[in-house]
Structure 1
Amino acid sequence: MDTKSLMIDTATMLFQQKGYKTVGLNEILKACNVSKGAIYHHFPNGKEELLIACLHDLKVAITTDIETIFRGHRSTKEAVQAILHKLIHNLETEDTITGYTFSSIVSEMATVSEPVRNACSALYENIQHIYSAKLVAEGFTNESASEIALMLTASIEGAMMLCLTQKSTDPLKTIAKRLPNLFV
């Protein structure tokens, strides 16, 4: 793995685990075993630019994963259930879903930095677009599909945050049980 990718992967993990404001550049440097010059070589504007690169990588990874799941299921209902079961499984077996959630970064930084807010917004929009497109293909109107996609995104993201704070999979299990009612 090249140095830039290593810094992005490491910073993403640290930001998700500890929060953007808590993680200092020195901690990232130490975890990557690189010099301060390496950070500024790849991210001349510093930590915030690194965060935006992390959010971009999350956008690609999460979008790719969701698209793969959606292609493998005939209906939005089945695909959403598959996503929820994957998240529950990851939380139960790995005790984390950090690869999927970035709400902590949003709550910390979205009101402070317009570029970070835009990067977070783009990720949510990608997720909602995937949901919405599948719903439209199933016969939902654009408006209805867009509304349901928003509700799915908010419900899943909110449940992930509740799972992490409660150290329980119950919030995800609850929405897995209740979300299918949206597709009626």
Structure 2
Amino acid sequence: MIEAARALVEANGYHGTGLTQVLTMAEAPRGSLYHHFPGGKDELVSEALTAAGGEVDGIVREVAVSAPTPQALVLAVLERLADRMVAADYGKGCPVATVALEVAANNDDLQSVCGGIYSGWQRTLADALVVDGHDLAEANELATTALALIEGALLLARASRSRTPIEQVGRRIARLLAAD
């Protein structure tokens, strides 16, 4: 059910995903939803977001092993996210952004989940920048800027059904992170 919710929410958003759709895709009986997720849709979506955030964390950890610099890390992660988007025929972007945009103002629990995922990604990049020689305050600011650029690039790429925004932003982020 988590994987079905994750796929549907990423493609259709929180409000565009119904529990009946999730159960149908997961081939699960209705009773199992409330047995495993007594908090209903919000609890299921929270678990789906956590799994999606973990997927991106896994991509970052995998790429970090061979990336010699934060610039190389960001470019490799962007490439993987672009490949993922193209493979889904632009039906996937950031696995968290759609829900964050839909519910941040009115659902504190899901907003907290989304915020926590983004904070984790920001910290990972900031830590790499500190290791690369940036002071902590600058690393945090650069990491937040890079994350905002990445999110914007994914949105523009999905809207235009083109990798071009991701490639352009990747080049700019590499220059930004290399600046002294």
Q: State the TM-score, normalizing by the size of structure 2.
A: 0.93
Q: Shift of residue 101 of structure 1?
A: 3.0
Q: Relative to structure 1, is the Cα distance of residues 34 and 92 closer, same or farther in structure 2, using a 3 angstrom cutoff?
A: closer
Quick one: which amino acid aligns to residue 163 of structure 1? Answer: A
Whether 1:142 aligns to 2:133 is: no
Partner of residue 181, structure 1: 175
Distance 1:64 1:92 in 2: 19
Aligned length: 178
- Write the distance in 1 (CA, Å) between the matches of 2:17 and 2:88: 22
Q: 1:72 is matched with which residue: 51, 66, 74?
A: 66
Q: Is 2:15 the partner of 1:21? A: yes
Q: Percent identity?
A: 26
Runs of 4+ in 1 over 4 A off after TM superposition: none
Unaligned runs of 5+ in 2: none
- Counterpart in 2 of 1:91? 85
Structure 1 CA distance for aligned equivalents of residues 28 and 84 of structure 2: 30
Distance of 2:44 and 2:162 partners within structure 1: 31
Tell me the equivalent position of 1:32: 26
For structure 1, the residue ranges without an aligned partner over 5 or more in a row are 1-6
Q: Superposition RMSD on alpha carbons, in Å? A: 1.5
Contact 2:90 2:161 in 1 (8 A): no
Paired with 1:36 and 1:101, the residues of 2 have a C-alpha distance of 25
Partners of 2:134 and 2:163 lie apart in 1 by 30
Cα displacement (A) at 1:93: 4.1
TM-score by structure 1 length? 0.91
- For residues 30-179 of structure 1, the aligned pairs below 5 Å read 30-96=24-90, 98=92, 100-179=94-173
